[in-house]
Structure 1
Amino acid sequence: MSNSSPTTALDAEALYATLLAQLKTGLAGASDVAIVGIHSGGAWLAERLAADLGLTARFGVIDVSFYRDDFAEKGLHADIKPTQIGFDVNAATLVLVDDVLYTGRTTRAAINELFDYGRPARIMLAALVDRGGRQLPVAADFVAATVAVAEGQALVLGRAADGTFTLTIDDDHA
């Protein structure tokens, strides 16, 4: 684990505003919309998006730890949170939210978990940032920016006490 300081800070609030605008346009006319965030950064984004889109009653959070194909290799992270989906996903238009789209493995795991709750009509993916490096054929329907990140670095979303976001490029601490 590196203790070096972040090399670059990105304007996470501007990226959030871009993502919100894309969702408002892209979801116009959609029916039975719900929003589900992937723990933790995606959940933070989804919670704020749900409030800004008037979807607080149709907001959920998932932790995909047990659904990852690299579970045996990586093990569990220390802060596992229970999945909370308090609405019927059957025939819903689900917006799956993650902070950073990278290999596609987290997205695949999230979709597998969502299907354990029912069969949505559609799942759309929203990500604050796409860093490339896909290992699976996954693409976001909504993405605020594409950011090149060097090998050995990670994009890290932070949330302040007032709910504002920060996004830094840090030395990889995985």
Structure 2
Amino acid sequence: MKPKFRIKEHIVYYDPQRRRSWNEGGTWPHKNHYGFHEAVIAADFRLRGYEVIHDYSMTKTKPLRNVTNYFTKLVHGFVSRRATRFFTTELKEITGSDDGQPDLFVFHQDTPNDPKIRYPEYPENLLWFFVECKGPDEAIRETQRKFWRAIAERDNIDLGIKRLNLFRALPEGYKYEPKEYEF
């Protein structure tokens, strides 16, 4: 029997007045708000001193777009060679594609100028981790659970459940109790 893993979601709130598209007199460029929740969560991490990559591929080392290719190289430069080998071989076989991969790769570099910002919810000051982003009514997809399980089971190559985080972007005043998901 496979072990069960648990992931608890964290909440980031945003001003719902800024959720309107440019067409509606707001500040968000896309009418359908594509990527809005990812942007809210990425901004929260950036304010805490982290860097964020959102356009990358875990299972391909040579994606089609130049920007994606560049960011993919950065991601694979942070993770270990064994993790990269796992992503591009075993994980690719398990999932068949990047469907289900986490939305964000979050990291910071240890430098003399780094303020050593620590996220209080994390027991370790990890230099990098993955973040899945959800909006108020978004559910966890089966492809995501499959992706997460594959990463969570690989603690032996410096992956594991500690490298996965789930964040939900919600409008200020939205009543919601953070959930814990098992996979």
Q: Which structure has the higher relative contact order (CA within 8 Å, separation 6+)?
A: 2
TM-score between the two structures when normalised by the length of structure 2: 0.31
TM-score between the two structures when normalised by the length of structure 1: 0.32
- Give 1 or 2: higher helix fraction: 2
Tell which structure's C-alpha radius of gyration is larger.
Answer: 2
